[in-house]
Structure 1
Amino acid sequence: MFFYFLFRLGQFLAWILPRSLAYCFAALICRLKFTLGRKERVFVINNFRIILAQDGKNTYKYARNLYGNFGRYLVDFFRAHQIDRKFVDKFVRIEGRENMDAALAQGKGAIGLSAHIGNWELSAQILGVLGYKISVVALVHSNPRIDNFFNNQRRITGVKVIPVGVSVKQCFKALKNNEIVGILGDRDFSGKNGILVDFLGKQMLAPRGPVILSIRTGAPIVPVFVIRDEKNEHYFKYFLNKPIYPQSSSDAEDNIRQLTQHYVKIIESYVKRYPDQWYLFREFWRAEKVIII
């Protein structure tokens, strides 16, 4: 219950404060957490030593920036009611919209695959505002009030929510209707059914669901990422990458691994370009495997 009221308080402040001031306040609070939370801070800095392949002042700087960016992300999520066509036209530079249109032109739907980088919620909301029919697969929060709060924020812009656990049939139905299904590809929600692929020089346990869904339905995977502009925090760059089309193979497991590796390499390229916008707050590598939150 405490966290529910904390989220509602955050939403209230995000609504009443000017956007710049809300960003500043949220970044300050999150950076304070970075300063006071020693255990978490050590994890995050160690993560950056691996992501940046270096040690020293840069790791601390990027880790601190990560918290500030996460605060700004929360403000954007709380202000979802302000995400409309006017906002998109003014603050979002879209690159590669033709890639999503080409994927949908097949009539089999498209899997909009993103990661916990930049503003993944906004990637779905923008598509909803632009008139695309889109559903997102989302974890169910243990607190029903928080779960409803999160999902209501998503629905404001016309995004439908498919809860993890009951998602398979609804995903098939949405794709059959030539809609977009949004999935995050940098975390194995099951914790046991992932597939090992290379990522940042290590092994990563990635979800196999996006690729299996693509193979079974024929829907291409379109990697999509909304990144905050490094020079102006109010603006975003929306990258819609070329579709990854499913391939048939006599070796099903190897086929899944290759297609998963393909999209993971794309995620990796964005993590390298925008390391302080990929939100990791726990230990990243453990026992030679990647643990992603």
Structure 2
Amino acid sequence: MPRRADRRWVVPERGSRFAMQLALLLARRVGRPWLEWLLGPITLYFFLHNGAARRASRVYLRRVLPVRPSVIMIMRHMRCFAQVVLDRIFFLQNAIDMPHVRVTGRENFLQTLAAGQGCLLLGAHIGSFEALRALGREHSITLRMLMYRSNLGGATDVLEALDPTYLQTIIAIGQVDTMLRVAESLERGEVVGILGDRTPDTGRCISAKMLGGDIYLPEGPFRLALATGTPIVLVSAIRGADGIYDVSFEPFDVPYPTSRQERSAFVQHAVERYAGWMEALCYRHPFSWFNFYDYWGDLP
């Protein structure tokens, strides 16, 4: 049964404007490889000072790893997130030394766009969506991101200022004209990106199984697909051990219903398919999933 979403993840962004400005200054002066040396101290700081994220990481890693997570594993999880944030600086600057990207399933994605219906690009907080923007620039694809922005802070403001066109590509969730802007973008044959593993408390959720427990995922992306008739493509962009981001496009192989009576069953099936896709990614890349909050409601 659908239920109201909770607000566990709707928390103020950590990280200050000053710290991000300092990171940008260092990025311009010394470059990405040298700046990566600071990720260790930064990870240690957040490990020590962000108990909620530390506990949530432990709960998640217990579910996804075959061994009991150690302190080193939790710090590795946090460091992977810090690495992705650092790489985001260079993606947004379109810098010469930004990380490289390699792609799987590019042809399927481009064929979907060639149909002229637009596309809903459905991802999760696994890896980096910024790598996908770099790919979009390469193919001159207009990518708009449907985002919840009420919990963002000064650090994100500094990052977004790196690309003067960035805010033009954002469609904020919860605004009066949100759905109108999405529909207009799709009618123009553009790509609308959605990270479907979180939702503010204004949405409705569907229960699904992931990593042995119950989670609640928003039904909005799938209702949107039904309302517009737009195809869904699953996407992930995960940093490999060699520093290259592997962007993978996968077909969303859940047939659209042929009658209104079948829509609820479609949404349930779609949510379960999406949860299964996330679970498989987490098993393959356990340290690249970045929901540092009590996702399963396990913590007291």
TM-score (norm 1): 0.85
Native 8 Å contact 1:222 1:244 kept in 2: no
The alignment status of 1:236 with 2:245, answered yes or no, reads yes
Give the AA of the match of 1:161. I
Q: Percent identity?
A: 23
Q: Of 160, 163, 173, which residue of structure 1 is paired with 2:172?
A: 163
Match of 2:106 in 1: 97
- Structure with larger RCO (C-alpha < 8 A, sep 6+): 2
Give the AA of the match of 1:247. Y
Native 8 Å contact 1:108 1:217 kept in 2: no
Q: Of 18, 22, 25, which residue of structure 2 is paired with 1:5?
A: 18
Give the count of matched residue pairs.
Answer: 282
Distance 1:162 1:277 in 2: 25
Q: Which SS does the other structure have where 2:236 is aligned?
A: strand
Offset from partner CA, 1:140-186 (integer Å, 9 cap, x none) = 24567556445444655797111111321111111111110000011
Match of 2:142 in 1: 133
The alignment status of 1:275 with 2:289, answered yes or no, reads no
Offset from partner CA, 1:270-292 (integer Å, 9 cap, x none) = 1111010111322232169xxxx
Q: Which SS does the other structure have where 1:241 is aligned?
A: strand
Distance 1:174 1:246 in 2: 23
Q: How does 1:1-293 map to 2 (within 5 A)?
A: 3-52=16-65, 54-56=66-68, 58-83=69-94, 91-141=100-150, 148-153=157-162, 160-166=169-175, 167-190=178-201, 192-230=203-241, 232-233=242-243, 235-244=244-253, 247-248=256-257, 249=259, 250-286=261-297
Q: Which SS does the other structure have where 1:198 is aligned?
A: strand
Q: Which SS does the other structure have where 1:269 is aligned?
A: helix
Give the AA of the match of 2:54. R
Q: Which SS does the other structure have where 2:204 is aligned?
A: coil
Distance 1:241 1:159 in 2: 27
Distance 2:187 2:21 in 1: 37
Distance 2:197 2:163 in 1: 20
Offset from partner CA, 1:14-47 (integer Å, 9 cap, x none) = 2322211212213431233214544532331122
RMSD: 2.8
Give the deviation of 1:136 after TM superposition. Answer: 0.4
Change beyond 3 A, Cα 1:87–1:96: farther
Give the AA of the match of 1:267. M
Native 8 Å contact 2:144 2:169 kept in 1: yes
Offset from partner CA, 1:217-239 (integer Å, 9 cap, x none) = 11111111111112x22x11111
Distance 1:201 1:33 in 2: 28
Give the AA of the match of 2:39. A
Offset from partner CA, 1:201-258 (integer Å, 9 cap, x none) = 222111111111111111111111111112x22x111111124465114232221111
Distance 1:155 1:268 in 2: 36
Give the deviation of 1:124 after TM superposition. Answer: 2.9
Unmatched runs of 5 consecutive residues or more in structure 1: 289-293
TM-score (norm 2): 0.83
